[in-house]
Chains A and B, each alone.
Chain A
Amino acid sequence: MSVYPEYARVRSLWMGPGQDPYAIEIETDAGITGSCVNYGGGAFACAVIEQHFKRFLVGQDPFNIEMIWDQMNRSTLPYGLGGVTSMAMAGIDLALYDLVARSMNIPVYKLIGGKTKESIPCYATIHPDNVEHWKDRGFFGVKIAAPWGAESGREGLEKMEALLRKLRNDLGDKMEIMVDCYLSWDIEFTVRLAERVRDLDIKWFEDPLQNGWATESNQLLRSKLGGIQLATGNLEYHEKAFHDIIHNHATDIIQPEIQWVGGLTPTRRIAAMAKPYNMQVIPHGASVYNYHFVLANTNSAYAEFLSTGEGKELHPIFDTIIGEPLPENGHIKLDENKPGFGVELNYDKLVPYHCS
């Protein structure tokens, strides 16, 4: 939507109810529950769960996560294949992992492989005006959103170059810079900007091309970026799409969005695809669900932390969960004594969903 000036500045001007959060709680006859807050899907996802997926859950053993996921996937092929349906599947999948881990009194990361590192180094996604607040906090880098893209033409190139030069100057040489292009660049804009900022040591351009561009276009773009890496994948939904990207070396960093792509079940499959290519799997966005995956996955060296609130202080990403871990000195540590994902629903911020 960034190609439309009236919507480019603030995402919430165009975001719809399918991008609202929702929460799910799965109950069992053993008195153990699992829960998840998903920042996508909203009431639409609730309707899919209530009217369709519920039949695959009630009476089922919650340990049968693979089968439940497969039944949800197969049963929605005529109308699903991504978006709200996938976000509904993700909420269920993550709540099941939470439930199963709680039933064993272990954290989820121990259920899916255990620790691969003691803590998770994070980069912070920030507004460029707030660089001074994130510079000396232990984060290894910052990511900003690109305010200008292909629709801005040469003026946009000049403004992006000026913004990145100022950012590098403000940040110094010790921290990485990443740019989220918001699917609003094209090959020409991306390549010409890469040439202009070659001396700034940018780590990656994220999603310069809208998903739906040919894999070969991303391959071509990647070959023309010099030392700047390409990162993509957060708006892909199907394992086949990830296989296509990974197998064809069409990205350097693959970024499944755990809460959108369908949960940990497909994300772990994507990570397995990426492993033989030694490709980093850095989940898009920031959440406790990402942290558990990254801690347990060898080819996920770090994670994103999203600055919220005023954007100047560490602030939980969700006010709908209690106990969300925050970075200390730019690193996330997970408490091995907290079962499941280690967080609880904040009922004061939630409204029961009633199917109408």
Chain B
Amino acid sequence: MARTNVALWEFHGVELSLCLNLTGFSPEFESRFSDGGRNLSIIPLKNMKITGIKLYTIGTGDTGARGAAQGESQYWGAVGRPAP
């Protein structure tokens, strides 16, 4: 169903947008901040759907190197470093 942003305001630095259904002028999505110019309130978006997932792994080094890079050496002692 077609919709468009028909209004865009700044309220205390927060961007507000209201999305309307062009065929019926009824809100398809609620505004994140439905203040009507008076009271700032938080209304969750309605009818939001998950559309996709992105997955990532860590880019560099092997498992051991990553462990060391994330502080492993400080918890147990670096490779070759004597235990306390």
Contact = CB atoms under 8 A, between A and B. Distances in A.
Interface of A: 9-13, 15-17, 19-30, 32, 39, 42-43, 46, 49-50, 54, 57-63, 100, 103-106, 125-130, 145, 147-148, 163, 306-311, 315, 317-320, 345, 347, 349-353
B63 A307 contact: no
A353 B74 contact: no
Contacts of B29: 30
B55 A22 contact: yes
A61 B47 CA distance: 7
Given A15-B64, A307-B74, A350-B57, A63 B44 contact: yes
Q: Which of B14, B56, B66 has the most CB of A within 10 A?
A: B56
B78 A105 contact: no
B51 interface: yes
B7 interface: no
Interface in B21-51: 29, 32-33, 42, 44-45, 47-51
A20 B66 contact: yes
Given A10-B79, A317-B71, A63 B63 contact: no
A13 B58 contact: no
A28 B74 CA distance: 40
What does DSSP make chain B's interface, helix, strand, loop or mixed?
A: mixed
A349 B59 contact: yes
A308 B70 contact: yes
Contact of A13 (B48, B52, B64): B64
A320 B61 CA distance: 14
A314 to B, nearest CB: 12
B53 A28 contact: no
Contact of B58 (A11, A310, A351): A351
Given A27-B50, A50-B53, A347-B56, 15 more contacts: A10-B67, A11-B75, A12-B68, A21-B58, A22-B58, A26-B52, A32-B48, A46-B57, A58-B50, A58-B51, A127-B77, A308-B70, A317-B70, A351-B57, A352-B55
Interface of B: 14, 29, 32-33, 42, 44-45, 47-60, 63-79, 81, 83-84
Contacts of A350: 56-59
Q: Which of B14, B52, B76 has the most CB of A within 10 A?
A: B76
A24 B57 CA distance: 9
Contacts of B54: 24-25, 27, 352
Contacts of A129: 77, 84
Minimum-distance CB pairs A-B, first 6:
A311-B74, A308-B71, A12-B67, A350-B56, A353-B55, A12-B64
Contact of B79 (A9, A58, A61, A130): A9
A127 B73 CA distance: 8
B48 A103 contact: yes
Nearest to B33: A105
A153 B60 CA distance: 39
B76 A15 contact: no
Given A103-B32, A145-B75, A310-B74, A23 B56 contact: yes
B55 to A, nearest CB: 4
Contact of B63 (A12, A59, A128, A317): A12
21 contacts: A10-B73, A10-B78, A11-B67, A11-B76, A17-B63, A20-B58, A21-B70, A29-B49, A32-B45, A46-B55, A46-B57, A49-B55, A50-B53, A58-B50, A58-B53, A61-B48, A129-B84, A350-B59, A352-B55, A353-B55, A353-B57
A100 to B, nearest CB: 8
Contacts of B67: 10-12, 15, 19
A59 B74 contact: no
Nearest to A163: B84
